[in-house]
Amino acid sequence: MCVFLMSAGQMTDLLYTEKELVHSLREYIKAEESKLSEIKSWARRLDDLTRVSTSDPEGYLAHPVNAYKLMKRLNTEWSHLESLVLHNPSDGFISNMTMHRQYFPDEEDEKGAAKALMRLQDTYQLDSEDFSKGRLPGMHSSAMLTVDDCFDMGKTAYNEADYYHAVLWVQQALKQLDAGEEAVVSKAAVLDYLSYSVYQMGDLPRAIELTRRLVAIEPSHQRAGGNLRYFEKLLLKAQYEQQEEERTKHPDSEEPIQLGTYVRPKDHLPERETYEALCRGEGGGMTEKRRSRLFCRYQDGNRNPRLLLKPMKEEDEWDSPRIVRYLEALSDYEIEKIKEMAKPRLARATVRDPKTGVLTTANYRVSKSAWLEEEDGPVIARVNQRIQDITGLTVDTAELLQVANYGVGGQYEPHFDFSRKDEPDAFKRLGTGNRVATFLNYMSDVEAGGATVFPDFGAVIQPKKGTAVFWYNLFKSGEGDYRTRHAACPVLVGSKWVSNKWIHERGQEFLRPCGLTEVD
């Protein structure tokens, strides 16, 4: 499975790189036009000259000046013209391209970008046509997808045997072709991919219909005839065995393929439907009764000297398990400094392997992250101290401040922050015990998507720049609170910046004493 590995910051840099390359390309075109203009001038002059000289060669050469100029032209001027023709103005452009190519996205990045669009399509139930026309919730853009774009999206899915998404995108390519849009890809190629993908989805009537269209426009197609006979044979057999079931199982092949025509295959995530519904703002667990139990207050960290004059503004986000949000947890200056320090270090985000405790990449976490320590600057020390003051927990045994950037499609599927009993070595290397609590700073607003959701009880927490949320992952007994399984929804529009502090058990023995029961 490919993932989109570029952060929003890196994508921004690529935009400026592309702008510079366009400028370089225009300079190259200008140089080529200048060269061609000079060559045309030579051609016009020599054309006039040869027309006169060849009309009466002997008379022309009888004049000694003409004889001299012929020798000079062929010896000197034609050599100069040859040098002019051989001169390659593209050298500067090619050199610029070569210099920047090392920063270009590769094939895996392109596949990852396509996968990101499909992930957004699934999570937010967006039709392929909405994407192709630039229609996203809350915005309308001029960013359009052409026939070739849609076809390439479908091919990306097809090549990974993801026929569900292949059908959605190749069908959109066909729809735009049928509407008269011009494209590089042929309608025959589109029908070829679509008919086979539809067959793989188990829809034989539609596969036959599409293959007949393919045979009609390209009778000599290498596979179409054989496929058609094979599909028709399968359909006859299926109709004979389960005629009634087949009618209810498959939609009328005359109806257009759209989101919901076919059932998306199940994957590894048991709470996929619940998670994605929460990301769309559906099925949340907030009720009026629960809301009546949520309050806001000023929090001074149990009369902490640093918070007495300016206590934190604390709001309840959820009552059980308790999740609170702190307003004005980070200033704009602190946010910019943290991002400034993190950007050069951003790398593919990792998760801790539950068996080995080693940090490794995972397909269910799609973002870029960096780790910052107090030695990196006074801002980090100040933020760490503030987290300690607010929570009343020591951060001496906490992990470094992790900064993460989620670009469009960036997500972190449902997961636990703490290690479970079946993975006792997850944090063994750190020697600081399990992750007792999570302090999550939101360092940007997000135009659409990017919420933090808790599928177990239906909490949806929207990112808001400068605020932070805090919750305990463990009960006072040290037992894990399995209700805290949470996720970062895919970013639909915009860029999401967060920084988090994972606070560990060691050092909290007297700050958060053990309770009397397992679930205190």
d(CA 398, CA 418): 13
Distance from the Cα of residue 229 to its chain's centroid: 41
Mean pLDDT value across the chain? 88
d(CA 341, CA 380): 10
Q: Which of 477, 478, 479, 459 minimizes the C-alpha distance to 469?
A: 459
**What is the per-residue burial (b if ≥16 Cβ within 10 Å, else e) of 442-462?**
bbbebbbbbbbbbbbbbbbbb
User: 222-272, pLDDT tens digit by residue?
Assistant: 777 777 778 777 777 766 455 545 444 554 455 678 778 899 998 889 999
Look at residue 138 and tell me whether its pLDDT is greater than 80. Answer: no
Look at residue 354 and tell me whether its pLDDT is greater than 80. Answer: no
User: 364-377, pLDDT tens digit by residue?
Assistant: 556 789 999 999 99
Report the pLDDT averaged over residues 195-202.
94
Look at residue 488 and tell me whether its pLDDT is greater than 90. Answer: yes
Which of the given ranges, 60-64, 218-222, 345-349, 400-404, has the highest pLDDT on average? 400-404
Report the pLDDT averaged over residues 205-225.
87
**What is the per-residue burial (b if ≥16 Cβ within 10 Å, else e) of 473-512?**
bbbbeebbbebbbbbbbbbbbbbbbbbbbbbbbebbeeeb
What is the spatial order of strands in the sheet that 452-454 belongs to? 365-366, 411-415, 486-488, 452-454, 459-461
Report the pLDDT averaged over residues 406-420.
91
- Residue 198 confidence (pLDDT): 95
Look at residue 358 and tell me whether its pLDDT is greater than 70. Answer: no
User: What percent of the chain is modeled with pLDDT above 70?
Assistant: 91
- Residue 357 confidence (pLDDT): 56
- Residue 247 confidence (pLDDT): 47
Report the pLDDT averaged over residues 88-96.
87
User: 48-63, pLDDT tens digit by residue?
Assistant: 999 999 998 888 888 7
Look at residue 111 and tell me whether its pLDDT is greater than 70. Answer: yes
User: 141-182, pLDDT tens digit by residue?
Assistant: 778 899 999 999 999 999 999 999 999 999 999 999 999 999
- Residue 112 confidence (pLDDT): 85
- Residue 388 confidence (pLDDT): 98
